[in-house]
Amino acid sequence: MSVEELTTVLPSGPEQPGSLSNSVLIAEDDAMFRKILENWLEHWGYRVVVAEDGAKAWNILQQEGPPQLLILDWIMPGINGMELCRRIREQRNSPYQYILLVTSKDDKQDVVHGLEAGADDYLTKPFDRDELRARLRTGSRILTLQKDLIHARENLRFQATHDALTGIWNRGAIVAMLRRELDRAFRSQGSVAVLMLDLDHFKRINDTHGHLAGDDVLKEAANRVVRSTRSYDLVGRYGGEEFLIVLPGCDSDQLRQAAERIRRTIGDTPMQTLNSSPEVTASIGATVCADNNSAEEVLAVADAALYQAKNSGRDRVAIL
């Protein structure tokens, strides 16, 4: 099919894009054929990025958020389509990029070589416009499935590491992060502060206002703690109404100031629940680790400090 013949089959007007919202990279050195492909894809609702040769296509693919649907011409100057396929697959990118290799080669062995290089599908020039559209739809379906799988995987990962009620780190995750920060502090001769926070008389809140109000208090307490810490501090629900807070790089001089700020954040304003506004206070036990202490040893010290704070009247900070 000549360029003139290709031009005559262009759609007369834009089609409804439907779900075809993927961006597509066209790597094609023939300017007229590249323009025809670009017009087709834009009428079908795709966002199109074009490259005049393989080297420019490779540079585009190194940028942040490159297209996931790729139409690569086999024969191009510099880096050809086969070499581009190999480079893309060697990177093992995530998310996956779907490659449609366009070639004038129709020998079956050439097709095999193209697929082995990493192409997902191929079209032999000259090809039918509707066949191209159908093959791109196949690629879009596969990429949509991939997106759904990635979303499901991230949801599972979040559920495995976060507390279902408050959305902060759960016990397993926060303790694992504590171990990581202790190892890092030991290697760099730095320090880590650890705070164990307990909401005072929490059972009374449940008994007086109901368990739903208690859940609201836990969520609000978690939000207040997160807001009162630095972006790189770590906040997790240790269990029940207890929270574990890890402050990397916090020394003994900064510890009391940080702990008091968190305590005031909890107690200075009543908590808002659906039907009540209970006043809630918190007791905090804190310690700084600068030696090669294990997580278990550090947690034991913080827990002892918390016990001291509660025995001294609650709504206070104790440091050991």
Q: What is the CA radius of gyration of the chain?
A: 30
Q: Which of 123, 153, 183 is the last residue of a domain?
A: 153
Q: 164 in a domain, yes or no?
A: no
> What residue numbers bound the domain in which 301 lies?
171-319
pLDDT, mean over the chain = 87
Query: DSSP assignment, residue 45?
Result: T
Give yes or no: residues 103 and 141 share one domain.
Answer: yes
Mean pLDDT is lowest, of 37-51, 146-160, 209-223, 300-314, for: 146-160
Q: 263 in a domain, yes or no?
A: yes
DSSP conformation letters of 197-255: EEETTHHHHHHHH-HHHHHHHHHHHHHHHHHTS-TT-EEEEEETTEEEEEEET--HHHH
Residue 183 has pLDDT above 70, yes or no: yes
Give yes or no: residues 201 and 143 share one domain.
Answer: no
Average pLDDT over residues 169-192: 93
Residue 17 has pLDDT above 80, yes or no: no
Instruction: Give me 166's structure tokens.
Output: 């408050």
Give yes or no: residues 291 and 181 share one domain.
Answer: yes
Mean pLDDT is lowest, of 15-19, 32-36, 126-130, 240-244, for: 15-19
Give yes or no: residues 140 and 175 share one domain.
Answer: no
Give yes or no: residues 245 and 115 share one domain.
Answer: no
Distance of CA 124 to the CA centre of its chain: 38
Give yes or no: residues 215 and 176 share one domain.
Answer: yes
Q: 283 in a domain, yes or no?
A: yes
% of residues, the chain, pLDDT over 90: 49
Residue 105 has pLDDT above 50, yes or no: yes
> CA separation (Å) from 199 to 148, 157, 194?
39, 28, 17
Residue 63 has pLDDT above 80, yes or no: yes
Q: 291 in a domain, yes or no?
A: yes
Work out the pLDDT band at 106, boundaries 50, 70, 90.
Answer: low
Give yes or no: residues 294 and 201 share one domain.
Answer: yes
Residue 96 has pLDDT above 90, yes or no: no
Give yes or no: residues 146 and 182 share one domain.
Answer: no
Q: How many domains does the chain have?
A: 2
Residue 144 has pLDDT above 90, yes or no: no
The 10s digit of each residue's pLDDT in 261-286 is 999 999 999 998 888 889 999 999 99
Q: What is the CATH number of the domain that holds 50?
A: 3.40.50.2300
Higher pLDDT, 143 or 299: 299
Mean pLDDT is lowest, of 56-60, 77-81, 218-222, 245-249, for: 77-81
User: What pTM did the predictor assign?
Assistant: 0.65
Give yes or no: residues 219 and 276 share one domain.
Answer: yes
Q: 146 in a domain, yes or no?
A: yes
Q: 47 in a domain, yes or no?
A: yes
Average pLDDT over residues 297-314: 95
Residue 110 has pLDDT above 80, yes or no: no
Mean pLDDT is lowest, of 181-190, 233-242, 310-319, for: 181-190
Residue 9 has pLDDT above 90, yes or no: no
Q: Which of 111, 126, 153 is the last residue of a domain?
A: 153
Work out the pLDDT band at 288, boundaries 50, 70, 90.
Answer: very high
Catalytic residues: 241
Q: Are 121 and 102 in contact (CB under 8 A)?
A: no
